[in-house]
Amino acid sequence: MIDNFSAAILVIFGLLRLFVRQHTRPALPFLEDVRSCILADARLPTSLLAKFLIPVVLSTFQSFRAGCALTVLLVAMWTDDFQYPPVEPPRERNRLASYFIRIVSYEIIVGSIIWALFNQKEDVYNTLTIFQMILGFNCFWFGYYGKVDYDEFMHFPHGLPNRIFPASSTFDMLHQITGPDYQHRIIQWIGFGLLAGNGFVYAFVFYEVCNLASKAYTRHRINLEEDPNQVDDGRTPLLQRF
């Protein structure tokens, strides 16, 4: 009952985020994704305890599919901790407040996802279920690679010094469109939903897709306001592609 109520809230917030186009919240590089910023940062010695406990925790899961989804999510989060430099809190007051709200809200989201996956019942494995898991796994990592490529291209002129995964073949094309990072994040979260097969996770994926589409539209709108005479060279707003 609680999961259904929380899922409904996420869907409502997702619709509000999608149709309220005046998205003015400050952009915070490196915090646009769910990352283990506080609870289990891979750079902290205390994270070793969490890593050692993972096999024990996963063995208590009722669903093998849910355990696989959580493992993939944690691997991606801890990989981000190693690849990206530490996030420094901004000095401006409005950005600082948004910074802490973003971190705390994502920690709550991660905890809610873990709880929903822990309570997930065992699935009946058939051809469709296996296909969804394989497709979700590939979509998740395809979106993850594209996200890292764009972040490196936009925010790190000398590259990520601790990059783990190699750049993709389309790395040199990322500057040609407005929202490739948001597109790849959308693919990543859709893949996670397919991999998990959980109702609450589907609701969060819906919210995140709406949120990312709104941010992509906002970025495109700001670009047009800064240069209203620019020619559309492929930078179509993400919302117009849906």
Reading the chain (242 residues) residue by residue, the pLDDT tens digits are 446 767 777 777 677 766 765 555 545 444 455 554 544 566 666 566 666 777 777 778 888 888 888 888 888 887 877 777 766 666 666 666 766 777 777 777 888 888 888 888 888 888 999 999 999 999 999 888 888 877 777 667 677 777 776 666 555 554 444 566 778 888 999 999 999 988 889 988 888 888 887 777 776 666 666 666 654 444 444 444 44
Reported as half-sphere exposure (CB side, CA atoms, 13 A), residue 12 has a value of 6
Contacts made by residues 161-168, CB under 8 angstroms, sequence distance 24+: 162/82, 162/83, 163/83, 164/79, 164/82, 164/83, 165/79, 165/83
Per-residue pLDDT at 2: 47
Find, among 115, 146, 129, the residue nearest to 194 by Cα: 129
**Which amino acid, residue 6?**
S
DSSP string for residues in 30-58:
T-SS---SSTT-TTSTTHHHHHHHHHHHH
Its pTM stands at 0.77
d(CA 137, CA 31): 23
* 208 contacts: CB under 8 Å, gap ≥ 6: 14, 185, 186, 189
What letter would DSSP give residue 24?
-
d(CA 53, CA 102): 27
